[in-house]
C-alpha cells in the first residue's frame, strides 16, 4: 500500500513548511505583538501620516473643559432686579428730599442740634468770630433753609453716583463674576439692617401724609436688591459661575 495520501497533489510541499490542503501560499502567523483580528493595536505606533485613534478618553479620564455657552435665566433676572432696585432707590431719595424729611428731622431736634453746634463754635475761635455763623445761629429758620439747600445738592450728586454703582454691581453679577456677587451680598445685608433702622425714623419724623409713600418706596428698593442677590445664588447661577471659573483655569477667557 502506498504511503502517499491520494488527496494530496503530486508536487510535495517544501520541506519544513506545514501541509496546506488548499494549495497556494500557506497562511502566515501574526507577527509578534500583532493583532490577529485585523483591528489596529493601540499599543503599536500608527503609520506615519495617519492619526492614531483610541477607544478610551484622554489621560486622566476627563473630557476637556468647555466654557458655558449661555447665561442662565436666574443671572439675567439678577441683573434686572438690581438695576430696578437702583431706579427705585433714586426715586426714594428724591421723595425724601421733596418731602423735606431731613429738614423735618433737624427742625424737630433743633434744640439738641443747636446746643451741639454752639459747643463746636465756641471751641473753635475762627468759627466763634465769624459773624455769618452767629447770624445763622440767631435765626433758626435761615439756618435750616441753608442746610436744606446743601442737602438738595448732596441728594442730586449721591443719586447719580448710586445709579452708576447699582448698574455696575448688577452688570457684573449678571455676568457671573463671583467676587461681585459676594460684594452684592454684603451690601444687601447692610441695606436690610439700614431698613430696620430707617423705617421707625420715617414714621417718627415724616409728615403723616408722606409716611406710607416714603416707607413703600424705600422698602421696595431694598427688597428688589435683595431679590437680585438671591437669584444670583440659585443653583443654575452657581453652576454657571463654577463652569466659568473652571474654563478660565483651563485657559479660556
Q: Model confidence over 138-150: pLDDT tens digits?
A: 777 777 778 778 8
Residue 168: is its pLDDT beyond 60?
Answer: yes
Do 232 and 181 meet the contact criterion of CB atoms below 8 Å apart? yes
- Res 230 pLDDT > 90: yes
| pLDDT on residue 152 | 83
pLDDT band at 216 (very low <50, low <70, confident <90, very high): very high
Placement of cell 438690581 in the chain? 82
For residue 238, the model assigns a pLDDT of 92
Q: How confident is the model at residue 185 (pLDDT cuts 50, 70, 90)?
A: very high
More confident residue, 194 or 19: 194
pLDDT more than 90, % of the chain: 38
| DSSP letter string, 108-153 | HTHHHHHHHHHHHHHH-HHHHT-HHHHHHHH-HHHHHHHHHHHHHH
| Contact in structure between 121 and 128 (CB atoms under 8 Å) | yes
Whole-number Cα distances in Å, 164 to 83, 213, 229? 10, 24, 17
Least confident of 27-36, 108-117, 175-184, 195-204: 27-36
Closest by CA to 169, choosing from 70, 96, 80, is 80
Mean pLDDT of 187-210: 90
Q: Is the pLDDT of residue 225 over 90?
A: yes
- 64-115, pLDDT tens digit by residue? 566 666 889 999 999 999 999 999 999 999 998 888 888 888 777 777 777 7
pLDDT for the residue numbered 75: 95
* 143-147 contacts, C-beta under 8 A, 24 or more apart: 144/103, 144/106, 144/107, 144/110, 147/102, 147/103, 147/106
CB 146 within 8 Å of CB 135: no
* Per-residue pLDDT, 22: 52
Question: How confident is the model at residue 144, as a pLDDT?
Answer: 78
Residues 232-245: what's their mean pLDDT?
Answer: 91
Each residue of 14-58: pLDDT tens digit? 555 555 555 555 556 555 555 555 555 555 555 555 554 444 445
The more confident residue out of 180 and 208 is 180
Percent of the chain with pLDDT over 70: 71
Query: What's the pLDDT at 10?
Result: 52
Helix (H, G, I), strand (E, B) or coil at 100: coil
C-alpha cell belonging to residue 248: 478660565
Predicted confidence at residue 181, as pLDDT, reads: 95
Amino acid at each position: 500500500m502506498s504511503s502517499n495520501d491520494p488527496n494530496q497533489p503530486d508536487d510535495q510541499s517544501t520541506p519544513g513548511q506545514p501541509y496546506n490542503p488548499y494549495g497556494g501560499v500557506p497562511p502566515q502567523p501574526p507577527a509578534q505583538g500583532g493583532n490577529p483580528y485585523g483591528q489596529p493595536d493601540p499599543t503599536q505606533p500608527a503609520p506615519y501620516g495617519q492619526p492614531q485613534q483610541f477607544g478610551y478618553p484622554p489621560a486622566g479620564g476627563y473630557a476637556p473643559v468647555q466654557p458655558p455657552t449661555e447665561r442662565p435665566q436666574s443671572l439675567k433676572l439678577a441683573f434686572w432686579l438690581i438695576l430696578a432696585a437702583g431706579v427705585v432707590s433714586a426715586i426714594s431719595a428724591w421723595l425724601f428730599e421733596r418731602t423735606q424729611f431731613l429738614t423735618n428731622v433737624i427742625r424737630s431736634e433743633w434744640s439738641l442740634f443747636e446746643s451741639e453746634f454752639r459747643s463746636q463754635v465756641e471751641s473753635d475761635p475762627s468759627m466763634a468770630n465769624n459773624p455769618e455763623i452767629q447770624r445763622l445761629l440767631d435765626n433758626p429758620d435761615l439756618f435750616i433753609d441753608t442746610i436744606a439747600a446743601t442737602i438738595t445738592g448732596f441728594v442730586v450728586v449721591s443719586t447719580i453716583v448710586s445709579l452708576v454703582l447699582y448698574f455696575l454691581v448688577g452688570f457684573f453679577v449678571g455676568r457671573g463674576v463671583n467676587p461681585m456677587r459676594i460684594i452684592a451680598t454684603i451690601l444687601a445685608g447692610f441695606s436690610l439692617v439700614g431698613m430696620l433702622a430707617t423705617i421707625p425714623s420715617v414714621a417718627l419724623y415724616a409728615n403723616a401724609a408722606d409716611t406710607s409713600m416714603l416707607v413703600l418706596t424705600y422698602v421696595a428698593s431694598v427688597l428688589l436688591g435683595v431679590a437680585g442677590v438671591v437669584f444670583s445664588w440659585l443653583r443654575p447661577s452657581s453652576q454657571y459661575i463654577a463652569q466659568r471659573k473652571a474654563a478660565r483655569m483651563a485657559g479660556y477667557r
